Amino acid sequence: MEAVVRGNTRTTAILLAGLMATILLVPFVSVSASLTTAQSDVYLSCVEDDECLLTPTPIGEEVLSDTVFASPAQPRSLTFEFDMDPEQNQLALLPSVLTSMEIDFRFSGDATGAARPELDVSLILGQSVTDWEFDAQPIPGQSVNEPYILEDEPLNLNGNRVLWPEDVVRLRLTFVLDRPGTWELHMRGNSFFQIDIEWSEDIESRNSDEPSSDLEPQSTEFETSHKGALVENDRDCWAFEVEQHEVLSVFVIWEAVPIEIEQPHQLPNLFMPNGREAPAPEVIVSEDGTETRITYRWRALPLGDYTLCLGGVAEKFQPYTWTGQLAYEGLGPLDPSGFSGTSFYPVGAASLGDENGAVQLETTTYGFLILCLFVLILFCVDGLRHSTSTSLRFGLFAPGVVLMLLGGVFHPLWAGADEVQLDEEYSLDELVEYRLQQLWDVSYPGVPEQVLVKQTGATWGMLDGERLQLRLEVDEVRPMEDGRWQLVVPELEDLRLDEAIFGQVARGGVQTTDQGLLEDQTVRFILLAGRSLLLDLLMLEGLLVVDERPTSTVFHLDVEMVTAPATGSVSVPAWGTRPSTISNNDWVLLQSSLFPDQISVTLCDCDLDLLDVRFTPSDGFDARDVPKGLGLRNASGLIPMATPFAMLGFVFLSLSARIEYTRRKKARDLAQSMFESSEKWS
**HEC profile for 529-556?**
HHHHHHHHHHHHHHHCEECCCCCCCEEE
**What does the pLDDT read at residue 339?**
60
Question: Picking from 184-188, 317-321, 443-447, 512-516, which range would have the lowest pLDDT averaged per residue?
Answer: 512-516
> Between the ranges 102-116, 186-200, 512-526, where is the mean pLDDT highest?
186-200
Which range is least confidently modeled, 167-171, 206-210, 658-662?
658-662
Q: For 488-497, how does the pLDDT look when each residue is reduced to its tens digit (9 = 90+)? A: 999 988 898 9
Q: What pLDDT does 260 receive?
A: 86
Q: What is the pLDDT of residue 364?
A: 61
514-519-520 Cα angle (round to 5): 130
pLDDT value of residue 19: 40
pLDDT band at 515, cuts 50/70/90?
low
Q: What CA–CA distances, in Å, run from 395 to 398, 405, 652?
A: 7, 16, 9
Distance (Å, rounded) from C-alpha 407 to C-alpha 405? 6
What kind of fold does domain 33-201 have according to CATH? Jelly Rolls (2.60.120)
Residue 498: pLDDT above 80? yes
Specify the DSSP element, H or E, that contains 371. Answer: helix 367-383
Amino acid letter for position 201: E
CB 177 within 8 A of CB 183: yes
Whole-model pTM: value is: 0.74
Phi, psi of 678 (to 5 degrees): -65, -35
Question: What's the rounded Cα separation, in Å, for the pair 148 and 199?
Answer: 28
Residue 380 pLDDT exceeds 80? no
Sign of CA dihedral 525, 528, 531, 532: negative
H, E, C per residue of 30-96: CCCCCCECCECEEEEEEEECCEEEEECCCCCCCEEEEEECCCCCCCEEEEEEEEECCCCCCEEECCC
Confidence of residue 395 (pLDDT cuts 50, 70, 90): low
| Whether 268 contacts 308, CB under 8 Å | yes
Say which CATH architecture domain 204-338 belongs to: Sandwich (2.60)
Q: Of the segments 286-290, 408-412, 587-591, 676-680, which one has the largest average pLDDT value? A: 587-591
Cα 514 to chain center, whole Å?
Answer: 36
**Rama region for 387: left / alpha / beta (φ>0; ψ in -120 to 50; rest):** beta
CA distances from 260 to 163, 367, 430, 447 (A): 11, 58, 29, 11
Least confident window among 361-375, 530-544, 578-592 = 361-375
pLDDT confidence tier of residue 302, bands split at 50, 70 and 90 = very high
